[in-house]
Amino acid sequence: MSSLQKQLSELDEDDLCYEFRRERFTVHRTHLYFLHYEYEPAADNTDVTLVAQLSMDRLQMLEAICKHWEGPISLALYLSDAEAQQFLRYAQGSEVLMSRHNVAYHIVYKEGQFYPVNLLRNVAMKHVGTPYMFLSDIDFLPMYGLYEYLRKSVIQLDLANTKKAMIMPAFETLRYRLSFPKSKAELLSMLDMGTLFTFSGITWVEANPQFVAYKCYRAPQEFIYPSTGRVSLQVAAGHPCCSLTCGFLTSVLPGLPVAAFPVDPCSQFTFSYKDTTLAQETLFPKRPPPQVLGWALSLLLGQTQFRPQKDCLSIHLFFLSASSPGRAQLPSSHSAAFLPVSQVPVWTKGHAPTNFAKWRTATTPYRSSGRPISRPYVVVRRDCPEYDRRFVGFGWNKVAHIMELDAQEYEFTVLPNAYMIHMPHAPSFDITKFRSNKQYRVCLKTLKEEFQQDMSRRYGFAALKYLTAENNS
């Protein structure tokens, strides 16, 4: 019996988390260097490779990343056989991609029901040919000139001879079309105007359902904004399809223009942030106030199929907060409408170690705030640990890796003149499952606790703090 067969035989098929546990042992066909790759690392041993993973629905980010990052890139793509051929045609039709021979595309073929995010990261990391790696994600655009800046930084911080992880300050935008900041000063200006947010400075807060009224009509209706501040959702429920019209809530900030847009639940839901641009610009002319900008948004929005003959259309009222974590800062007359942020599956602490207040004025690298659990994006030596394969789909996949670096006594240092920006996109299939499937969340919590126990056994005192780490994704 092979080692793999032995490990599989030890799994309990009656375990409710059996499929999660089995996934880490799934063997995937892999096609390394799917397209021509040719690159000789810089002779001065300062070269850095950008590492990321993606699926078919993120192909549109490739050209943009190539324009922002001129250095080598190692990508792992999770595709079916048919999608691999589609990708080939896409790449061959792209002048930008075909002009780059320092981008390595590694195809990992689909197998199983989960997205093997950490396996993909490990494949991309394993085939890095430079001394250093920038561990990024496909939804982020690095600042222009970051490649050369990082090469200078690895010398300045002596990464070759020290256990350091350079933290990349991360921001995000709700705009699909963004005038990308060309300098830190320009980024800070956009941050003050509300065009950008610290990542994840955006907090989703679910409203109490009693503040949402449900009505059905034969034809599409619009939102009603009563002076009471309550919101009436009027949903068209004609057979066989329903349609939904969403818009901003004028009751939150009087005078805020309404940006309404239609959603067709008979096709895949797609919530487009670009429809909110007008209201964003109107709300934040100078500095984002602590008030809350709100819109109605279904948890189903994203990539969930709606079956009109079998499913009920579940509408939830959400508010987007640009303020600090905690309760949304609305007038007291509205405060009863909101649940604590902790009940919503979004983690606002992930990038707290960056200390954005300090970063605004920093001119030299500084040590992070030393949080025991976090998920910043980092630049490390090529010999850093791999990602833990037990985490698949959504949740704890990056956090676990940072925790291991911390347990191995890496020093986390924030770069003062570097940044990356997260671009908006529809929710992934796995985050939709996480939100809608209780068993998914239970299994993730179980795997997380087992990982924490493993860390304590392997690293002893250095990892004891992880046994009490908060339950975040």
Is residue 403 predicted with pLDDT exceeding 60? Answer: yes
- What are all long-range contacts of 351-356, with beta carbons under 8 Å and residues at least 24 apart? 351/169, 351/170, 351/198, 351/199, 351/200, 351/375, 351/376, 353/167, 353/412, 353/414, 354/167, 354/169, 354/170, 354/198, 354/414, 355/414, 356/169, 356/198, 356/201
- 12-39: pLDDT as tens digits: 556 678 777 878 788 899 999 999 999 9
**What integer pLDDT is reported at residue 196 of this predicted model?**
80
Q: How far apart are CA 215 and CA 166, in angstroms?
A: 52
* Structural domain includes residue 87: yes
Are 84 and 217 found together in one domain? Answer: no
Query: What pLDDT sits at residue 281?
Result: 27
Pick the residue with more confidence: 316 or 89? 89
pLDDT computed for residue 215 by the predictor:
26
Same structural domain, 425 and 334: no
Residue where one domain finishes, among candidates 343, 369, 401: 343
Same domain, 374 and 461: yes
Of 343, 367, 393, which residue is a domain's last? 343
Does residue 325 sit in the same domain as residue 213?
yes
pLDDT given for residue 451 in this prediction: 83
User: Of the residues 343, 360, 380, which one is the last residue of a structural domain?
Assistant: 343
The tokens for 47 are 């070269």
Q: Pairing relation of β-strands 170-172 and 73-79?
A: unpaired
SS3 assignment for 375-417: CCEEEEECCCCCCCCCCCCCCCHHHHHHHHHHHCCCEEEECCC
Using pLDDT thresholds of 50, 70 and 90, give the confidence band for residue 458: confident
Confidence bin at 444 (pLDDT 50/70/90) = confident
Q: Which residues are CB-contacts of 468 (< 8 A; sequence separation ≥ 6)?
A: none
- Backbone angle region of 177, left / alpha / beta, with phi > 0 → left and psi within -120 to 50 → alpha: beta
Q: Tell me, what's the pLDDT at 76? A: 98
Position 462 scores a pLDDT of: 62
Percent of the chain with pLDDT over 70: 57
Domain assignment present for residue 449? The answer is yes
Indicate whether 358 pLDDT > 90. no
Cis ω for the linkage preceding 200 (within 30 of 0): yes
Residue 270 has pLDDT above 70, yes or no: no
For range 443-453, the mean pLDDT: 82
pLDDT tens profile 76-85: 999 999 999 9
- Whether 353 and 405 map to the same domain: the answer is yes
CA separation for the pair 180, 67 (Å, rounded): 12
> In the prediction, which pLDDT does 279 show?
29
Question: Which CATH number fits the domain that encloses residue 432?
Answer: 3.90.550.10
Same domain, 333 and 372: no
Q: Residue 223: pLDDT above 60?
A: no
Confidence check: pLDDT of 123 > 90: yes
Are residue 358 and residue 334 in the same domain, yes or no?
Answer: no
Confidence of residue 177 (pLDDT cuts 50, 70, 90): confident
Q: Which residues pair with 338 in a beta bridge?
A: 207
Classify residue 49: in a domain, yes or no.
yes
Segment 215-224 shows an average pLDDT of 26
**Statement: residue 346 has pLDDT above 60:** no
Residue 339 and residue 272 share a domain? yes
For residues 338 and 357, state if they share a domain.
no
Q: Residue 13: inside a domain, yes or no?
A: no
Please tell me the least confidently modeled range out of 96-110, 129-143, 194-208: 194-208
Asked if residue 223 and residue 155 are part of one domain, the reply reads: no
What is the number of residues in the chain?
A: 473
Phi, psi of 461 (to 5 degrees): -60, -35
Distance CA 201, CA 219 (A): 38
Q: How confident is the model at residue 374 (pLDDT cuts 50, 70, 90)?
A: low
Quick one: DSSP state of residue 218?
S
Same domain, 339 and 354: no
Domain extent, residue 235, equals 203-343
389 & 422 share domain? yes
Sheet holding 30-31, edge to edge: 30-31, 103-109, 73-79, 48-55, 132-135, 377-381, 164-168, 411-414, 366-367
Domains: count for the chain? 2
Band the pLDDT of 11: cuts 50, 70, 90.
Answer: low
Q: Does any domain span residue 142? A: yes
Question: DSSP string of 342-354?
Answer: GGSS--SSTTGGG
- Per-residue pLDDT at 472 exceeds 50: no
Q: Provide, rounded to the nearest whole percent, the portion of the chain with pLDDT above 90.
A: 35
pLDDT band at residue 114 under the 50/70/90 scheme: confident
The 3-state DSSP class for residue 444 equals helix
Within a domain: residue 299? Answer: yes
Give residue-wise pLDDT tens across range 404-425.
Answer: 898 888 999 999 999 999 887 6
User: What is the SS3 assignment for 164?
Assistant: strand
User: Average pLDDT of 210-231?
Assistant: 27
Residue 3, domain member (yes or no): no
Q: Reduce the DSSP state of residue 33 to 3 states and report it.
A: coil
Is residue 223, in this structure, part of any structural domain at all?
Answer: yes
Q: Evaluate if residue 468 carries a pLDDT over 70.
A: no
317-344 pLDDT, tens digit each: 333 333 323 323 322 222 222 222 222 2
Confidence label for 439 from pLDDT (cuts 50, 70 and 90): confident
Mean pLDDT of the chain: 67
Pick the most confident of 228-232, 235-239, 357-361, 393-397.
357-361
